[in-house]
Amino acid sequence: MKHVGTLLVLVLLFVLPVIVLLLTGLAPGWRFPDVWPDTFSLKGIDYLVRHHDQILSSLGSSFVFSVFTVLLTLFMCLFPAAVFARVEFKGKALLEGLLLTPALVPPMTFAMGLHFVFIKLSLTETMVGVVILLAMVSYPYMFRALVAGFQTMGEDYRICARNLGAGTLAIVLQVELPLLIPAVVAGGSVVFLVAFSEYFLVFLIGGGSVASFTGTLFPLLSSSNRSLAALLTLIFLFLPILLFLVMDTAVVRLYRKRGMI
């Protein structure tokens, strides 16, 4: 009985908005006081189809810079995370706290200071600049995930492999990285989502040149064309779900191949 209550709350809070978005997308003229739309029309979907190349290119651009952000954060955090998981040194707790602050303080506070310098360095209007800034804001999530991953992994495998004569590079690539994949996926998912959903930072550094899906969605949200806004929002919802399903299957398959499952 008590489970029904929980499920009801979950559905009302989280599923109902999606249903309403779907209805809004299919019924441009839906207005007060209709609880259910009066007429359905495909006008919104028609617009989507006619502009599919613009929408696809902004989706693609968002996807590309989000993936690069994941890769950059991985590169930034991999070795440091190993150090933090395994080495004790003075001031470690303080340093760790300091390193996590970019995810806590409002990004505006350092991004707007950097903006002018980015212009001078010609990093604005480029995807490189956008990726760099997004990585600065999201690396703490990757860092935490990797530290936890290294801690779970422990040092035994590495010591064992070293005793068997493996060089450092071989250890990292063949022993540690594969064991870290769940942590990388966990951290990477969060980083990807943060980068993919970001509007303001991409707008600030990207100027008008780096297309993003949020940039395409945003002007529509306060406009009166609610149906189009709703449809684009739904794409925003289903795309990451799709990606994570694909990611999940790929990882499972990889693990099976290596005999780790």
Q: Using CB under 8 A, which residues numbered 143 to 172 contact other proteins? A: 143
d(CA 129, CA 118) in angstroms, rounded, equals 7
In 3-state terms, what secondary structure has residue 66?
Answer: helix
CB of 177 closer than 8 Å to CB of 108: no
Binding span for other proteins by CB under 8 A among 15-23, 161-169, 172-180, 245-253: 15-23
175 binds other proteins (CB under 8 A): no
Q: Is 200 or 258 the residue whose CB approaches other proteins more closely? A: 200
- Written in H, E and C, the secondary structure of 199-211 is CHHHHHHHCCCCC
User: Cβ atoms within 10 A of the Cβ of 41, count?
Assistant: 14
Out of 25, 69, 107, 138, the residue judged to bind other proteins by CB under 8 A: 107
Comparing C-alpha atoms, which of 111, 69, 72 is closest to residue 195? Answer: 69
Out of 29, 60, 154, 178, the residue judged to bind other proteins by CB under 8 A: 29
Least separation in angstroms between CB 253 and other proteins: 21
Least separation in angstroms between CB 258 and other proteins: 26
Total number of residues shown for the chain: 261
- Give the C-alpha distances (Å, rounded to integers) separating 225 from 26, 33, 215: 12, 18, 16
47 binds other proteins (CB under 8 A): yes
Q: Is 14 or 164 the residue whose CB approaches other proteins more closely? A: 14
50 binds other proteins (CB under 8 A): yes
Binding span for other proteins by CB under 8 A among 162-170, 171-179, 216-224, 248-256: 216-224
d(CA 83, CA 164) in angstroms, rounded, equals 22
Out of 152, 174, 223, 249, the residue judged to bind other proteins by CB under 8 A: 223
Q: Is 164 or 241 the residue whose CB approaches other proteins more closely? A: 241
Out of 76, 127, 172, 251, the residue judged to bind other proteins by CB under 8 A: 76
- Give the C-alpha distances (Å, rounded to integers) separating 177 from 46, 77, 144, 184, 259: 46, 13, 16, 9, 15
